[in-house]
Homo-oligomer: A and B are copies of this chain.
Amino acid sequence: MINLSQAKPSELREMIRGNQLVKPTAGMAGGYAQANLAILKKEHAFDFLLFCQRNPKPCPLLDVTEAGSPVPKFAAPSGDIRTDIPKYRIYKHGELAEEVTDITDYWKDDMVAFLIGCSFTFEHALLNNNISVRHIEEDRNVPMYKTNISCIEAGIFHGKMVVSMRPIPQKDVVRAVQVTSRFPDVHGAPVHIGDPGAIGIKDIQKPDFGDSVTIREGEVPVFWACGVTPQSIAMETKPSIMITHAPGYMFITDIRDEKLGVI
């Protein structure tokens, strides 16, 4: 049995392409960055690229493909965006229409794929600093919340930021800010520390996406911008078609986590 955490990104993408690995990708290809996906028609590509430029915390770009090319040539030159994610979501006019394991039938020559950095990279950095990550400890998906923080709009794209939350012991909060600040391409520093109500979260135990996790005495909820934001934006903006990964089922790139550190 292949050790998924030790496997090379290209090996894992090949297994995923053959539908041999239809599962969340957390923990696979340790040390390599994974990515969120958003695919749009070329007519919306400038607006979305501008949206990402204006909102680099929820939407830090790792790669953008040429229109019609399914190859993310910088993030994974041997990859194919149509087949190398274990599970995709098809949004039509802002509604989730279908979940599929291959989007070859949906792919058109005027589509552009955006690969957006994923928090797995900075979670690895937190763990290396002896700051534990609760949802990993509890073997759950990270809790994610819609906030009252407006993204900066660009063309047709607008909406609220989605954040992920990790409870951090009070004594480690400053270090958590420092550690994640090194990685702006995977959401970077937190967007908020403490009171969930201040960013419009009513009940910390009821996340809008993912699972709830235990917050212990002496721990502070710390919130990072989240790569699920584009899906929430799609639901508000309602483009005729937008294809994304299913939350947790990411694209595994050839980019080393540490290469994303700014210093």
Contact of A50 among B49, B152, B155, B263 (CB under 8 A): B49
Q: How many copies does the complex hold?
A: 2
In the complex, chain B residues whose CB is within 8 Å of the CB of A181? 262-263
Determine if A135 is an interface residue (Cβ-Cβ < 8 Å).
no
The CA-CA distance from A249 to B15 in the complex, in Å, is 55
A144 part of interface (Cβ distance < 8 Å): no
How far, in whole Å, are A64 and B138 apart by their CA atoms in the complex?
A: 43
**A 46-58 binary contact with B (CB < 8 Å = 1; else 0):** 1001101110000
What is the total number of residues of chain A having a CB less than 8 Å from a CB of chain B? Answer: 21
Query: 0/1 per residue, A32-55, Cβ < 8 Å to B?
Result: 000000000000011001101110
A184 CB within 8 Å of chain B: yes
User: Taking the complex as formed, is A31 at the interface, i.e. its CB lies under 8 A from any CB of chain B?
Assistant: no
A125 on interface, CB distance cutoff 8 Å: no
A189 contacts chain B at the CB level, 8 A cutoff: yes
A45-B155 Cα distance, complex, nearest whole Å: 13
